[in-house]
Structure formats: C-alpha cells, structure tokens
Structure 1
C-alpha cells in the first residue's frame, strides 16, 4: 500500500508544478499565436470592397515572430514590407496595432492604429475594435473591426476588416514550410 501512496503523492506534487492552461480567451489566443512562432503563411486577398485594391493579385505573406513584448507578424504584400501586425497583452486586454513604415524604416504618417479585443473571442479568433486614436488618425475608421482567426488545424490564417458593420477586405493565408 505504501508504494501506491508514494506514487500518488509524487503525481500530486508534479501536477501542482504544472502551469495551468490559460482560462481567459485573450490569454488563450496569445498562447495560440506564441505556439506558432516561426511559422510562415502565404496567400492573397480573398475579398475587397474596392475592385482596385492595392492588394489585388499580389501574394500576401507573414511569419509569426515572438518577442518578450508580444507577437509581431510582418506582412509582405508583393515586395512591399511596410506593414507589421503587433499583438500585445497589456493589463487592459488584448491589443492589435498596425505598424506602417517607409522603406527607410521611418514611421508612416498613419501608423500604430488598431484597438483592443472585444468580449467573446476564442483561443483561435479575436475581433479588435478601433480605438479613439484610430478614429482620429483614419477618417471613417471609428467603426473598424479587425478579426484575426486561425483554423482548428492551424493551417489557415485569416485577417478580416469590417467598417460600418460591412466587410471591406479579407486576406486568407495558408501555412507553408519554414525556410531552412
């Protein structure tokens, strides 16, 4: 009987040392992104309200880059490397920012717009509402909602923009083998 009790006690101690799974969907989403570090995705524009969109017909790709501050996803549109999606987890919630840069690395006049995740997201999908700074910076963007989703199998990443509760654009990218 003593060996069984010893095994139970050891199992209980080890279980106490395990890191509990995040219970907040925002933490779960960040954990999902962090579990994708180094993964690359490629695809294109699946939908755009503007038939002359600058994204039409261009390959869109990103790689998940994890940093101590959060997750960065540099977005390439054709050869244009000016965009990066930045996900952070400040005390106020889960945040998405769009960092836009000129080729020399200086910030674009319209950069760091975005907002916080709204309630009701999941470990694989979060919707981010435009904040007041975004509304001041980008005329008409006060109702923007950006939704970032990852398929259950982790192979498809989608980014969708809505404005005034109507879809404006969606990118769909599929995971590709990492470069070696």
Structure 2
C-alpha cells in the first residue's frame, strides 16, 4: 500500500506536467501560425503585388495553393501566369522554429541550378508573422543573397510573402493573397511529386 501511495502522486505530477507542456506548446506563436496556415490546406487563392511595385517579371495571374500539410511540412506552390516553377516549402523543427525554402523547377521537373535557398527563423516569432533571415547554405549558393530577409504575414483575411534585400538598394518585394475567397485548385507545379 505504502509503495502505491508514493507512486500515485508521482504519476499525477507527471500527468500534470504533460498537460502543462501540451498547453504551453499550443501557446507558442510559431505553432499558432502553423495551425492557422494549416486551416487553408487544399485551398488556392488569388494574389496581387503589393502597392507601388513595378515587377514586369510577375505579370499574369498570381496564385498560391496550400497544397500539402503535415505536422512538420507545408508546401505552397506559387504560380505566376503559366510559370509553375515555384514552391514555398515550410518545415517546422522540434524546437518549433520554422524554415522557408524556395523549390524552383524547370518545366520538365528538373531542379533549377539555384534551388532550395531560404532561411530559418531565429525565434518563435509571432502567431501572425514569421521571419526568415538567409541561412549559411543560401549565402554560399548566392553570395548577394546573404543579407536577404524573407517574412510571411498571416491574418484571417490575408497571407503575404515578403522579401527585403538589406544590402541592396532594390525595393522590397511583397505579394498579397486574399484568404477570404478561395479559387479553383490549380494544376500541379512543375516536377511535383507527392
């Protein structure tokens, strides 16, 4: 009897600690961001360039498709007209930090020479904002991008993808998507594999 009396408080303590850890995990801003983004899985949305931008290379319909979601990875193809080469790949690690990579493909599905560049959050950010400074692999691959900073803003009504090249005089890039109006699901991006 005495032995079980000692075990019971220990077991209760472990269960309570597990509940607190679960509650704390749900309160982590990067997890809240992740969960909100996952609510859009399977949906596609129309986009537009941010105000005042002159980007002739981004003509045609701009579409994002939150194509696949898991606990650790979200893939979002980003189409520019008939150019189906781009996919944003977000991964979340065991420390609840999020990484953004850019997967670029040729029409035949092969990787472009410059591929899988991006960055990783340095902290858990905010539930509506995640920030990705260029990582060492990106700096080695594209030296001019070593001071790049990407970020994603997410609200109930809008998703925006942003890029600022801090060591350049080029204007920041921003594309905004209206999350209140899903559109027809587009075709697969180039080189897509489930």
Task: With the length of structure 1 as denominator, give the TM-score of the two structures.
Answer: 0.78
1:38–1:178: 8 Å Cα contact kept in structure 2? no
Counting only pairs closer than 5 Å after superposition, residues 12-31 of structure 1 correspond to structure 2 as: 20=23, 22-31=26-35
CA gap 1:156/1:118 in 2 versus in 1, 3 angstroms: same
Give distance in 2, aligned partners of 1:160 and 1:104: 28
**Is 2:168 the partner of 1:171?**
no
Instruction: State the number of aligned residues.
Output: 159
Which residue in the other structure is 1:37 paired with?
41
Secondary structure of 2:172 counterpart: strand
Secondary structure of 1:72 counterpart: strand
Runs of 4+ aligned residues of structure 1 deviating over 3 Å after TM superposition are none
Give distance in 2, aligned partners of 1:179 and 1:76: 13
Give distance in 2, aligned partners of 1:47 and 1:132: 31
Which residue in the other structure is 2:75 paired with?
72
Report deviation, 1:29.
1.5
1:29–1:125: 8 Å Cα contact kept in structure 2? yes
Report deviation, 1:118.
3.0
* Cα distance per residue 1:23-57 (max 9 Å; x no partner): 222222211111221222212222577x45411x3
Give distance in 1, aligned partners of 2:142 and 2:158: 29
CA gap 1:67/1:156 in 2 versus in 1, 3 angstroms: closer
Give distance in 2, aligned partners of 1:127 and 1:70: 17
Counting only pairs closer than 5 Å after superposition, residues 1-180 of structure 1 correspond to structure 2 as: 20=23, 22-46=26-50, 51-55=54-58, 57-68=59-70, 69-91=72-94, 93-119=97-123, 121-151=125-155, 154-164=156-166, 167-175=171-179, 176-179=181-184
Give distance in 2, aligned partners of 1:87 and 1:149: 14
Gaps (5+ residues) in structure 2? 1-18, 186-194
What RMSD over aligned residues (CA atoms) do the two structures have, in Å? 2.3
1:48–1:168: 8 Å Cα contact kept in structure 2? no
Task: With the length of structure 2 as denominator, give the TM-score of the two structures.
Answer: 0.73
Give distance in 1, aligned partners of 2:28 and 2:86: 28
Gaps (5+ residues) in structure 1? 1-15
Give distance in 1, aligned partners of 2:173 and 2:55: 12
CA gap 1:31/1:97 in 2 versus in 1, 3 angstroms: same
